[in-house]
Structure 1
Amino acid sequence: MPEIGGAPAWLQAGFKHLWLPYAQMQTAPLPLPVVRAEGVRLHLSDGSSLIDGISSWWTQAHGYNHPHIRAAVAAQLEKLPHVMLGGLANEPAMVLATRLAKLAPGDLDHVFFCESGSVSVEVAMKMAIQYWINRGVRGRTRFVSFRHGYHGDTMACMSICDPDEGMHGHFKGYLPEQIVVPLPVDMAGEAAFIELLAQRGDEIAGIILEPLVQGAGGMKFHDPSVLGFLRRITEARGQLLILDEIMTGFGRLGSMFACEQAGIVPDIMTLSKALSGGTLPLSAAIARQHVYAAFLSERHETALMHGPTYMGNPLACAAANASLDLFEREPRLAQVAAIETQMRTELEACRGLKGVVDVRVKGAIGVVELDRAGEGAWLRPHFLKRGVWIRPFGNIVYLAPPFVIEETDLRQLTSAVTEVTALWSRERA
């Protein structure tokens, strides 16, 4: 379709009917029309391009349109695009389940596939509640989650997000009331958490956390020792620990899984985003042997009654297997380490600017925290002028580039952040 008034006709027509994510549609501007993507670049309909600084919501570990993943999906498309996983099987799903079981820490070796990260968290919560029911324990229906946490936008997931600083305040009174507490980052916090488990342990089905980095809740970092404490106390108290590695898994923080940096194994782990190499929707909830064993009996009612229609989709699993190939063949974790070093050096120019609260880097995530929220509408056009796609949220300007980014392209991203933040500091702070 031809362009009309600078925007493709397909965009102008579709925009009247498409409901966009996290957008006030009455005031939302036209989104940018992307017609193709390659490596770290998004190519727009007018012939211009942008360096993607956030990896399409942290999915693009290997960059866009990687030939190995593309070839794997194309080959699978010729044979079997989809088949239900209820009573039937497909090779890519079985191979992927086997590979994930070997790759995941410890005895996390029973894989339940879903299509989205939120659904994998919903499944993990169902697993945890039914784990206790199947063991004859009643009343364990609540979850402990943490301030600044984010675990998705579906109903159960909203209940474990931060109820005050998150985006789901409208649903208070409808959502189940969970136990949301500060992270135990010091001795006082540890003592309070121990007391919580002592007082309310019989209500708790599981404790859920984003390990090392709480993502959409503000890119808050915490030390691996926090994970170590949570694992020790949950094991001592017989509680289930669920780690949401949807954003942190597959190398983003410098190890394949964030929990490896603490040397711990959760009881259930959720994965998505980079799982399929940023190609097709896919997620998984992976359980340890003792969790899985609680569902085994001669009685059908102890089974996990959940089954997403497209779970184990062969195309998505083929993409994920190809993505794992690339992690094995190419130096992704070394690339993350190099990104971390470069961002740590180059983003430091933002520290000390008026209005900048903090500058922090962990793995392939770089964060500049501002002292006020809601500045994205002002910041984004300035980033676009510099040829980069950076999408601030709240009071956070952040980078999470594809791992394959070259040094010069990363410098264009970090320069854009430092220049625009300095401009904002002079004009707005």
Structure 2
Amino acid sequence: MRTRGSTAPHLWRPYTQMKTAMPPLEVVRTHGARLVLADGRELVDGIASWWTAVHGYNHPHIARAVAAQVETMPHVMFGGLTHAPAERLARRLADLLPGDLDHVFFTDSGSVAVEVALKMAAQLWLNRGETGRSRVLAFRGGYHGDTMGAMSVCDPEDGMHRRFGGYLPSQVFCDLPRTRADIAALDAALDRHRRELAAVIVEPLVQGAGGMRMHPPEVLATIARLARRHGLPLILDEIFTGFGRTGTMFACAQADVVPDILCLSKALTGGTMALAATIATAEVFDGFWSDDPGAALMHGPTFMANPLACAAANASLDLFAGEPRLDQARAIAACLADGLEPLRALPGIADVRTLGAIGAVQFEAPPDLTVLKARFLERGVWVRPFGDIVYLTPALTIDRGDLDHLLDAVASVLREGVPPGA
């Protein structure tokens, strides 16, 4: 096997050059905001397993709900059948979301939720009898997933999928409208491509995996206003920002924006298993309501609306309803700002950004990520920097001691200085 130092040579790992990567760490147990390794070490998890474990690991309420569901019905196909966990979850999501976002299509990953959103938007025009609208306007710096359609609306130049440029559908890209010139350019692009665009897509308030780039609610409101002016559906990708991460249950609330289609995943099940949802307004749904079978949305992941995952998601929503998660997110925001802002003065640091339970420190040039990760491990924290960013997205339930430990680790490593990347 050609896998460096691996104890599991048959595994192909995500975002990893398998020839040169160091062996991964084996986790044997989780609790709270901590990972327990096979060698006995405990790491404070600073990123909540890619932002999913909002209630921390092993929350007993979610565990009980999943255990009860597995005894009754682990799975049943959703084509032609239904079940109470999915119906209850759809109703609760519709009640939580703003406006008339009340038609829920379940999938099994964030990327697929985006694929379905793009497909909905394109077919909406076809169902209206209008052809040629096959492109989407997206924003530089964005990231929406790793499947083909989702890759096509990621940043085409600096994103991780730029090598696929000649293979992906051709989309229209603009800068986020931060300035008058940006607003004018976006307006002009929407007008210039008005006959070929199906929708506009954006991550509200934070472009996550594209670099934790943040923008104020006014920018999102401007995008929504211009999309409406040009008669285009607005798709909001809240896969990262949803469920309290920005300090409100959903980021779009901070701009008082109701999209036409909204995508959710990540924290939907409280970090227990895969589930996603693409949620549409009544107007979008009505575009598929027809006597014509060909007007139906022809999509159906095998494990869509998996009862186990729906049980976990319902339990997660119970916790948001009964425990002070948004207050905890706001408390974390204050701690992140206090702990990270002083690092702005360090040599080689370009920016420090915080919003809700998200904190990011940006280098002037990409550092040596291997050295950086090793130094974090030495201090007992799991932090996974990428590009020129060190970021923290801890569980909303993280206790103050673990949060202080994370912040102290980041500060001490960065104050030591980090060699530049190759």
**TM-score bracket for this pair, using the shorter chain length:** over 0.9
Structure 1 residue 410 corresponds to structure 2 residue 403: yes
Structure 1 residue 249 corresponds to structure 2 residue 247: no
- Deviation string, structure 1 residues 134-172 (Cα, Å, up to 9, x no partner): 011111100000010000000111111001100112212
Structure 1 residue 345 corresponds to structure 2 residue 335: no
**Which residue of 76, 84, 92 maps to 1:83?**
76
Residue type at the aligned position of 2:183: E
Alignment match, 1:330 = 323
Alignment match, 1:187 = 180
Q: Is the 8 A contact 1:374 1:393 kept in 2?
A: no
TM-score, normalised via structure 2 length: 0.97
* In 2, Cα distance between equivalents of 1:263 and 1:169: 33
1:49 positional shift: 0.5
For these two proteins, the number of residue pairs brought into alignment is 417
Structure 1 residue 61 corresponds to structure 2 residue 46: no
Alignment match, 1:106 = 99
Residue type at the aligned position of 1:207: V
Residue type at the aligned position of 2:287: A
1:20 positional shift: 0.2
* In 1, Cα distance between equivalents of 2:370 and 2:126: 48
Q: Is the 8 A contact 1:375 1:394 kept in 2?
A: no
Identical aligned pairs, as a percentage? 57
Alignment match, 1:297 = 290
Alignment match, 1:22 = 15
Structure 1 residue 173 corresponds to structure 2 residue 169: no
- Deviation string, structure 1 residues 281-333 (Cα, Å, up to 9, x no partner): 00000000000000011010000000000000000000000000000000000
* In 2, Cα distance between equivalents of 1:346 and 1:113: 38
Structure 1 residue 138 corresponds to structure 2 residue 131: yes
Relative to structure 2, which stretch is displaced further, 372-381 or 141-150?
372-381
1:374 positional shift: 4.8
* In 1, Cα distance between equivalents of 2:260 and 2:402: 39
- Deviation string, structure 1 residues 222-245 (Cα, Å, up to 9, x no partner): 010011111112112211100000
Moved over 3 A (4+): none
1:196 positional shift: 1.1
Q: Is the 8 A contact 2:367 2:420 kept in 1?
A: no
1:246 positional shift: 0.1
Provide structure 1 residue ranges, at least 5 long, that are not aligned to the other structure.
1-10
Which residues of 2 match residues 223-262 of structure 1 at below 5 A? 223-262=216-255
- Deviation string, structure 1 residues 352-373 (Cα, Å, up to 9, x no partner): 1110000111000001000112
Q: Is the 8 A contact 1:375 1:395 kept in 2?
A: no
Which residues of 2 match residues 197-236 of structure 1 at below 5 A? 197-236=190-229
Residue type at the aligned position of 1:388: V
SS at match of 2:43: strand
Structure 1 residue 51 corresponds to structure 2 residue 44: yes
* In 2, Cα distance between equivalents of 1:50 and 1:382: 13
Q: Is the 8 A contact 1:386 1:416 kept in 2?
A: yes
* In 1, Cα distance between equivalents of 2:197 and 2:356: 32
* In 2, Cα distance between equivalents of 1:110 and 1:326: 23
Alignment match, 1:70 = 63
Alignment match, 2:189 = 196
* In 1, Cα distance between equivalents of 2:178 and 2:90: 35
Residue type at the aligned position of 1:147: R
Which residues of 2 match residues 28-43 of structure 1 at below 5 A? 28-43=21-36
Q: Is the 8 A contact 2:368 2:420 kept in 1?
A: no
- Deviation string, structure 1 residues 330-388 (Cα, Å, up to 9, x no partner): 00000000000011011122111110000111000001000112521110111011110
Alignment match, 1:5 = none
SS at match of 1:180: strand
**Which residue of 266, 272, 279 maps to 1:286?**
279
SS at match of 2:242: coil
